[in-house]
Chains A and B, each alone.
Chain A
């Protein structure tokens, strides 16, 4: 740099004023002002509403996008027309990576704009609520929300997915449950029963040892490592942890390097340690490891795999799955995930699972809170769900819909009836994604040879760094 000069000086002045502007700008952008009278514009005769969701025709979640544009919008508009109200409903399609969709709607809500009805992942409820981006349904649309008859059809546990601190922020749209899938053909070759249902971790390991005798077969896939991302936590660590009777966040406290965490990591050591590991430790490190494990399962090269019903519906589905398995209905079996030993699971359960859920919230900044709430209810009516499913099977939050819609699909019926009652949900807090990464790192270090005790204490100190002074860690 040689010297300052006129142009440089002018530029510096410009930069300085821009900096001041920037500083002012970020002061008042602290989240949706929203609120206001829930009955504002309740008797408007011309209404415009917008729905957004991470779905797009011909792409990700195409069924949902098609249903919104081809059924919800025309039906709702016609219904309101009869009541003398001129409603225009628009749909903003997205269909991209969840993280990016989340960023986008957070930006929208932060600048007090965005669609009136927004589809979100249940796991974001807490952090959005803490940021003031969304508000409880009763705040947005009034006390009338509690009178909706649909709530009776949605199990308490499922409602939890869209709740934060005992307040309902949205209506659940769907949920899922995790099971152990197994390949019956491989099981038969290894002398294992077709109606296999383990009752302890040891029985999983025993079955894996038997499968190990088969040529070219990886006995067991328990997701581990950071490359798998949330799949490690959700399809691996957390269901196992639940089987030790612990949750990652309970009663306002985070779980540190506890006994349950150490036992869970011990299971990883049992699977991936030793001379003859029961799982393929390389898959955990590959960026496309999850895709690979799906492909292996579809090809009959993998004995057991913990996954949600997503695997059944969208991956190995012979009709439109991404790794179609022509003999899925005959070859694939499923079992509940056992606790470490009978009765050792959360709430003293013998079997455990983890669930995620999606749903829709109302934008607190909506101009028409009553009409938006009406549209949201309409989208969650039994008729709406029937139209969305249109013959295909998928677990809905409503018991009445599930009773008929899932009748032809034994796997999904199993999840709805056997798994959902025993399942648990993740905490929807802003710190969770980081905690989840710390857990993934703990599993990765065990897979590469660190002792479970050491990995657990590393996790404890990581957790302290993440939570800082803002939260509590259980002893």
Chain B
């Protein structure tokens, strides 16, 4: 795997010298040296090893057992090898859930959040500060407000009985969450998660050297040309980061459970919800752990596709 931005091309323009990152530059402008670099990384790595890697591997180990939190299987968990994996892969409700998750991730995160987030970041740059700050705050609210609160907001919005949306559209009695469960949670997730993409892209756009915009403007480039020639090459790394992260997060998203409970009849049971049901409601922690690993492997595949798509064509 390659670094998201390590191979950025040298952008055109006067700032070329300072922005450029040829091999030489990788050997450390600040004179850090390997020893000091290791010392800088060590504290984070220590904390991660103890509180992340250790429990994560333990969890993966549990995925090879039939361990449960209560009952007989809690006393003497048996090593069942790959049974949990085979069970999961042959379970039709897992297939259903996986398909729904892929749809969910593609439409709500990769398309929805990224595009809306970028559009917002791009548009707000040219708005009056007051409007801009209002818009950003409202979008941020949707992201900051805790999931437990948000669930109530969306139930009130989409309720069949006197829901706000039905009142606005005059569609009295339409049960949005039952008739269009996937569409509902996709729209919901766009609403919920766009803020992150917006923030990231705002910061990314802020790091594009103003001189390059100036150059593009002078040469009479339109918006699309500016995006293609100036913005995109500069924020390629951020796009990759954003897509990787929101994909991974959206795979894990759990809030739709609070709104639809995965229903009706499993029609909105995305993986996060499915794993919760298996691990907590059914108490099969071993199988829940196995599912987590499967989910990670799928993410790995998707990540390598992204890398291929967004990787630099070497000059």
Contacts and interface: CB of A to CB of B under 8 A. Distances in A.
Is chain B in direct contact with chain A in the complex (CB below 8 A)? Answer: yes
Interface of A: 1-2, 14-15, 18-19, 21-23, 25-26, 30-31, 99, 102-103, 106-107, 110, 124, 126-128, 130-133, 225-227, 282, 285-288, 292, 295, 429-431, 433-434, 437, 444, 448, 470
Nearest to A2: B1
Contact of B70 (A130, A225, A285): A130
Which among A128, A282, A288 has the greatest number of chain B C-beta atoms within 10 A? A288
Interface in B248-267: 258-265
B70 A127 contact: yes
B32 interface: no
Contacts of A26: 58, 61-62, 65, 67, 77
A30 B71 contact: no
A127 B175 CA distance: 39
B75 A287 contact: no
Interface stretch (B133-141, B192-200, B277-285): B277-285
Contact of A31 (B75, B258, B261, B264): B75
Interface residues of B, number: 39
Given A21-B54, A131-B75, A437 B70 contact: no
Interface in B39-73: 49, 53-54, 57-58, 61-62, 65, 67-73
Contacts of A431: 71
Contacts of A14: 49, 53
A409 to B, nearest CB: 31
Given A15-B57, A22-B54, A226-B265, 14 more contacts: A1-B1, A15-B53, A19-B58, A26-B61, A30-B75, A99-B281, A130-B70, A130-B74, A131-B74, A133-B74, A282-B160, A287-B261, A288-B155, A470-B72
Which among A124, A227, A444 has the greatest number of chain B C-beta atoms within 10 A? A227
Contact of B263 (A1, A25, A30, A287): A287
Given A99-B280, A286-B177, A124 B54 contact: no
A380 B58 CA distance: 42
B76 interface: yes
B102 interface: no
Interface string B62-101: 1001011111111111000000000000000000000000
A18 B282 contact: no
A429 B54 contact: no
A437 B277 CA distance: 10
Contacts of A225: 263-265
Contacts of A448: 265
A22 B61 contact: yes
Contact of A106 (B54, B70, B72, B75): B70
19 contacts: A2-B2, A15-B57, A18-B53, A19-B57, A22-B54, A22-B57, A22-B58, A25-B58, A26-B65, A30-B74, A30-B76, A31-B74, A127-B71, A131-B71, A131-B75, A226-B262, A430-B72, A430-B283, A433-B283
Contact of B155 (A2, A282, A287): A287
A286 B178 CA distance: 7
Given A22-B58, A99-B281, A227-B263, A30 B77 contact: yes
Contacts of B54: 18, 21-22
A246 B73 CA distance: 28
A23 B62 CA distance: 9
Nearest to B261: A287
B282 A286 contact: no
Nearest to A445: B265
Given A18-B49, A131-B70, A437-B282, A292 B161 contact: yes
Given A19-B57, A21-B54, A227-B264, A286 B175 contact: yes
A78 B74 CA distance: 40
Contact of B259 (A110, A287, A434): A287
A130 B155 contact: no
Nearest to B54: A18
A370 to B, nearest CB: 27
Given A226-B263, A433-B283, A444-B265, A287 B70 contact: no
